[in-house]
Structure 1
Amino acid sequence: MMKQYNTRAILSSLLICGFIGMFSETALNIAMTNLMDVFQISAAMAQWLTTGFLLTLGILMPMSGLLLQMFTTRQLFIGSLISLIVGTLIAALAFNFEMLMFARVLQALGMGMLLPLMFNTILVIFPPEKRGAAMGFVGLVIMFAPATGPTIGGLLIEYFTWHYIFWFSLPFLVIGLLIGLKYLENVTDVTKPRIDLLSVILSTIGFGGVVFGFSKAGEGSEGWGSTVVVTSIVVGLISLVLFILRQNVMRDPMMNLRVFKHPMYVVGLLMVLSCMLIIMSSMIILPMFLQTGAGLSVFTAGLMLLPGSALNGILSPRMGSLFDKYGPKWLVIPGFVIVSVMLWFFTTLSPASSVAFIVALHIGLMVGIGMVWMPAQTNGLNQLPPELYPHGTAVMNTLQQVVGAIGTAVAISILSGGMEKYLHGSSAPTLKTEIANAMTAGSQNVFLFTMIIALISVVMALFIRRVVVNRETIKSIH
């Protein structure tokens, strides 16, 4: 007999907090150009506000399985919310870049605990037949919150200052905390697993080193050949190799890497990662192009990105039912073809491109991504035996954060390189129109890079096949 919980109140609390956490992550993207002026920092420096967030998540995600076993549901929830609220308050009061950066790390620590907790709690408090609907709401929040971020963020910057992105978020987090304190119960058993300190250290240096190296390479002052970049990437990769070897000899690994023995899981994972790379690259470059290249206001730029992202969120549950009916192949292959075509059109963007054209391309891109992401992820996880299910999710979540940070860094690096090359050959490099042209040239290079990734993914999609989950496996998962 399943224990009765106030599922509606618990779900509301988790969704409100999750929504605001995801919202503030992308709302700041639209403020990048503004922050570069206010704090007198370069694009590469400003990019750390996104990279630092993803880096913190990337370090915390591999430990999420451990944290869920070490602490009660309420302890983790209260800890994550305090971190989010304090981080948001510091960001709202921030008067320099360092203070804002510290606030972002605190926010990321909160989100790093909240996201795995949200998925785990829903699996426990909802019976199997209602779980899909609850997960559908989570999917909608995860897609829709980042979509509204740039629009609301743009509106707040237009009429107030960027600080109000965080003042706007604060009351919602407090409401979410109060609902959770009243209704959220401890839904999991605390098993106090043995912590393998070496695994924790290796995973932190490994994932942290790789992301830090790529981010440094994205900065104008440091090239890909600089000592700092090469050292941190090499040290990171060596640590990851040692981490993998360590996990393979442990009886209870921190992250069970046997998930990679399942071919459809690997194909699904690679597709999700290529989607993450494409989304993170375009999400950071497009607002910059719209403001500096096309000369549009922050609010207009945010508004232009809303239809595509919102449609992606709304279609997420629909793609799930189409996947159940037809399997992954008929969604994933056309999805990547659409993404490739849209990115090819994006490489032709210029300051003269019409608003309607850019909005239509963005809608096409997000619909294509929506056709790939959920079916590829579900199909991949379906192939895993029940005992590897949490590990498969942990590996996917961790690598998404790392690839997201790498994608952001590579995109900024390509953008800066393209702009420098254009301005170097320009007779009037300080002229506003020339800077807009340079931004266009740099952005086109980034879209060309993401188009190549999408075309490789089309070839990969040809190898996907439907995984049939037998009823016994489903029962044992639940």
Structure 2
Amino acid sequence: MTTHSPTPTGELPAVAAPDETAPSVKVAPLIAVLVVSAFVMILNETLLSVALPTLMADLSITAVTAQWLATGFMLTMAVVIPTTGFLMKRLASRRVFQLAMGLFLVGTTAAMLAPSFAVLLGARVVQAAGTAMVLPLLMTTILALVPLRSRGLVMGLVGVVISAAPALGPSISGFVLEHGTWHHLFALMLPIIVIALVIGLLFMRNHTEPEKVSLDVVSVVLSALGFGGAVYALSSISRVVEGEARLLPLLAGGIGLVSLAAFALRQVRRVGRGDEPLLDLRPLRVRTYTVSLLVMMLSFATMLGTVTALPLYMTGALGMNTFAVGLTMLPGAAASGLLGPLVGALYDRLGPRPIVIPGAALMAASSWLAMVLLDGEASQGLVIALNVPLGLGMAMVMTPLMALSLGALPRAQYGHGSAILNTLQQLAAALGTAVFIALLTLGAAVAAQGGASGPIAQAAGASWAFSAGGVMTSIAVVLACTLRPSREPAQG
């Protein structure tokens, strides 16, 4: 088996392109099924954001308890994703697909029928376990089977999943809740997943062979404590700001940081001894991969924070109902989804910099303008006009950088590179959501103390939140300018 050693610059050597090494499979239907499956699963992550007040009333739970439906989902994702690199080596790709879809199907069915909060929370955890496996599987399948010359176009579809699906969740939720109950949110997904599973079983063939690698249990425990503790601490920032809970989040954050340091050290040592790591961290030594990762994290944190804070602003400051909120969020999500494939095709022709830098700048401009212009009297049209550029910019950032970052790795590192990317995206999602909500809460409290009325105070808090997006995306612009202008071909 050929091994790859880093060059003195830290770049892993390129590996053969899949044009010649990819197995003969029906690629297009397979990619389509994986894209649809991943889209539904990622959409599901933000589907309940608008439904939380309804769930609180229906299940007789507090806002803090209801928030666990989002926190539990993110925690599970953060714990499971680091193991996907191991899973994709230990299991054939078809088996990983069956496991992921089966878990999500069971979780969705249980959520649809859930009679209580405890059952619903358990169902969300099962859903998250399946979701954690699908996106890495989709990315590694594309990298293994799609020729380099077409990879940007296909990655554009993944960009739709990453950027449009989370933004579309609140829109769909608002429409469904206007005419049904929260149970129907899960009923809507069920037939799509069943059809995708059946079609996937027809077309999915193994493009990876199982390897006899052992599971490092100590690494699994350290990973769970580290990533789980970090996500919990980040998701609790708003409660810390409100003074509700401080000791537990701080303790979880401390344990998380120590565990992450121990986890990283153990992975490096296992690689040095020639043992199989749970999560191979060598992709982080590739500059192109790491810079791309940082830009994607900052952009994703801004998008998820905005998707969470904007509906709260529209309901609290502008007095919109859930249907109006969903309608207002829809154009931004649609813009991101429609632009994704076009951006992918442009990436194949132009490379990353001419697309990523303007995209990050568009997100920054949208965030700063939202901070200034979205007050207590803003029109629905203005909210849409500021949200659409954010969605467009997100597509322009995520699509090229996913292809660029993973394409800079050797084929043997695809699984681990994808696992790192998706794990850090969950941390970015937790960070963005937590920071936006904390600033919204703090800004509203400060405004209220100054004598502002409820809606005006909510608008002031939203302005604080959107400033966080402006800062993060401005940093992303600077980092994007350091990306190398030419794409590094992946070899296999």
**TM-score in terms of structure 2 length:** 0.87
Residue 293 of structure 2 corresponds to 269
Output the amino acid matched with 2:280: N
Deviation string 1:104-137 (CA, Å, 9 cap, x unpaired) is 1111111112222233344455566665554443
Matched, 1:351 2:351: no
Query: Quick check: 1:469 aligned with 2:488?
Result: yes
Moved more, 395-404 or 452-461: 452-461
Q: Hey, what's the Cα distance between the residues in 1 that align with 2:289 and 2:22?
A: 31
**1:295 aligns to what SS in structure 2?**
coil
In 1: Cα distance, 2:42 partner to 2:32 partner: 15
Using the TM superposition, give the Cα deviation of residue 141 of structure 1 relative to its aligned residue in structure 2, in angstroms: 4.1
Alignment counterpart, residue 314 of structure 1, candidates 338, 341, 348? 338
Q: Residue 445 of structure 1 is aligned with which of 464, 469, 473?
A: 464
The amino acid across from 1:13 in the alignment is: V
Unpaired stretches in structure 2, ≥5 consecutive residues: 1-20
Deviation (angstroms), 1:178? 2.3
Out of 442, 448, 451, the position equivalent to 1:417 is: 442
User: How many correspondences in the alignment?
Assistant: 467
Change in Cα spacing, 1:423 to 1:403, as seen in structure 2 (3 Å) is same
Match of 1:280 in 2: 304
Which stretch shows the higher mean deviation, 230-239 or 401-410? 401-410
**Whole-angstrom CA distance in 1 between matches of 2:39 and 2:220:** 29
Aligned partner (choices 112, 134, 138) of residue 114 of structure 1:
134
Kept in 2, the 8 Å contact 1:217–1:223? The answer is no
Aligned twin of 2:267: 247
Equivalent of residue 217 in structure 2, options 194, 197, 201:
197
Q: Cα gap change, 1:50/1:308 in structure 2, threshold over 3 Å: closer, same or farther?
A: same
* In structure 2, C-alpha distance between the alignment counterparts of 1:2 and 1:339, rounded to whole Å: 37
Q: Which residue of 2 aligns with 1:341?
A: 365
Q: Is the 8 A contact 2:170 2:326 kept in 1?
A: yes
Query: For residues 206-255 of structure 1, what are the alpha-carbon distances to aligned partners after superposition, in whole Å with 9 as ceiling and x for unaligned?
Result: 11111111222322687498221221111111111111111111123222
Taking a change above 3 Å as real, the CA distance of residues 463 and 12 of structure 1, as seen in their structure-2 partners, is closer
Cα 1:77–1:265, aligned 2, differ >3 Å: closer, same or farther? closer
Shift of the 145–261 alpha-carbon distance from structure 1 to 2, 3 Å rule, reads closer
2:232 corresponds to:
212
1:67 offset after TM fit, Å?
A: 0.8
User: How far did residue 142 of structure 1 move?
Assistant: 4.1
Question: Residue 292 of structure 1 aligns with which residue?
Answer: 316
In 2: Cα distance, 1:5 partner to 1:24 partner:
30
- Determine the C-alpha separation between the residues in 2 that align with 1:144 and 1:455: 21
Determine the structure 1 residue equivalent to 2:246.
226
- Decide which moves more: 86-95 or 180-189: 180-189
Look up the SS of the partner of 2:51 in the other structure.
helix
Does residue 122 of structure 2 align to residue 98 of structure 1? no
Output the CA distance in 1 between the equivalents of 2:35 and 2:413: 26
The verdict on how the C-alpha distance between 1:386 and 1:94 changes in structure 2, with shifts beyond 3 A counting, is closer
Verify the 8 A CA contact 1:60 1:112 in the aligned structure 2: yes
Structure 1, 268-277 or 453-462: larger mean CA deviation: 453-462
Over the aligned positions, Cα root-mean-square deviation in angstroms equals 2.6
Letter of the structure 2 residue corresponding to residue 390 of structure 1: G
1:372 aligns to what?
Answer: 397
What code does the residue aligned with 2:330 have? L
Q: TM-score w.r.t. structure 1 length? A: 0.89
What are the superposed Cα offsets for residues 332-390 of structure 1, whole Å, 9 maximum, x if unpaired? Answer: 33323222221122113123111111101001111122222233343334443444343
SS of 1:30 mapped into structure 2: coil
Deviation at 1:318, TM superposition (A): 2.1
Identity between Structure 1 and Structure 2 (%): 36
Structure 1: which 5+ runs fail to align?
A: 428-433
Distance in 2 between residues matched to 1:32 and 1:19, nearest whole Å: 22
Instruction: Tell me how far apart the structure 1 counterparts of residues 233 and 43 of structure 2 sit (CA, whole Å).
Output: 27
1:403 aligns with 2:428: yes
- Secondary structure of the residue aligned to 2:200 is helix
Relative to structure 1, the CA distance from residue 358 to residue 320 in structure 2 (aligned partners, 3 Å threshold; closer, same or farther) is same
- Between the aligned partners of 1:452 and 1:81, the Cα distance in structure 2 is 38
Which residue of the partner structure matches residue 479 of structure 2? 460
Cα–Cα, structure 1 residues 236 and 275, in superposed 2: closer, same or farther, change >3 Å?
A: same
- The reply on whether 1:330 has 2:354 as its aligned counterpart is yes
Aligned mates of 1:39, 1:426 — CA distance in 2: 35
2:277 is matched by which residue type in structure 1? P
Report the CA distance between 1:159 and its aligned residue.
1.0
Q: What whole-Å deviation, never above 9, does each CA across 1:131-158 have from its counterpart, x for those lacking one?
A: 5554443433444433443233211100
Amino acid at match of 2:427: V
Give the Cα separation in 1 of the matches to 2:200 and 2:344: 29
Q: Of 148, 156, 180, which residue of structure 2 is paired with 1:160?
A: 180
Q: Alpha carbons of 1:209 and 1:45: their partners in 2 closer, same or farther (altered >3 Å)?
A: same
Return the structure number with greater relative CO, CA threshold 8 A, min gap 6: 2
Contact 2:22 2:144 in 1 (8 A): no
Tell me the CA shift for residue 194 of structure 1.
Answer: 1.5
User: 1:240 and 1:223, CA in 2 relative to 1: closer, same or farther beyond 3 A?
Assistant: farther
On the 8 A contact 1:44/1:220 being kept in 2, the answer is: no
Letter in 1 for 2:365: V
Instruction: Name the counterpart of 1:258.
Output: 282
Give the distance between the partners of 2:438 and 2:488, measured in 1 at CA.
43
